[in-house]
Structure 1
């Protein structure tokens, strides 16, 4: 089997959704550790607000950049695959 072409929009949507999930995970870490370390300094409210902001902002930011990177990656793959013939995959 040879992958000759990748649908740019489908890959961009997939990559955006995958990166949004990673952004949610990163936001959870910011929420957890930001609240914990802010509590050491006596400013627990600031760490919680920053963590909640990260929990909202990071998945959106990751999704946008993931979508753009997926679209660019698929477009470049299609250009290169047209020249070299694509990726050959052996399956059983």
Structure 2
């Protein structure tokens, strides 16, 4: 068994930002579509038409996507710091790693057993 004793804060923050960016883009597109169709079916609501609607939709998608990514980065950093503090007190998460099918060879032809 291997134990994860610490997590690189920036590494986890970047991963959370990337995942949040994708989720933010999907959420932003859905929000814009719902807003456009919601306005289109409202009988007494003046429907904004023209290029400004498209411009605001694109701006909304970009802004929401970036905001999600920033929040994801901050959340990832906070989670990594909290994990590192907790792992120092309680111990890290234990995981089981698969053994390599073939042991890596050293440059001189011997098998590398440094990972054991």
Q: Between Structure 1 and Structure 2, whose CA radius of gyration is higher?
A: 2
Please, which of 39, 51, 55 is the counterpart of residue 57 of structure 2? 51
**Unaligned residue ranges in structure 2 (runs of 5+):** 99-116
CA contact (8 A) 1:38 1:47 kept: no
- Per the alignment, residue 6 of structure 2 pairs with 5
Q: Secondary structure of 2:19's match?
A: helix
- Aligned-pair Cα RMSD in Å: 1.8
The correspondence of residues 8-87 of structure 1 with structure 2, limited to 5 A, is 8-41=9-42, 42-45=46-49, 48=54, 50-87=56-93
Partner Cα separation in structure 1 for residue 40 and residue 20 of structure 2: 30
TM-score relative to the length of structure 2: 0.70
CA contact (8 A) 1:4 1:86 kept: yes
**Unaligned residue ranges in structure 1 (runs of 5+):** none
Q: Greater share of helix residues, 1 or 2?
A: 1
Residue-pair matches, total = 92
Superposition deviation, residue 51 in structure 1: 3.2
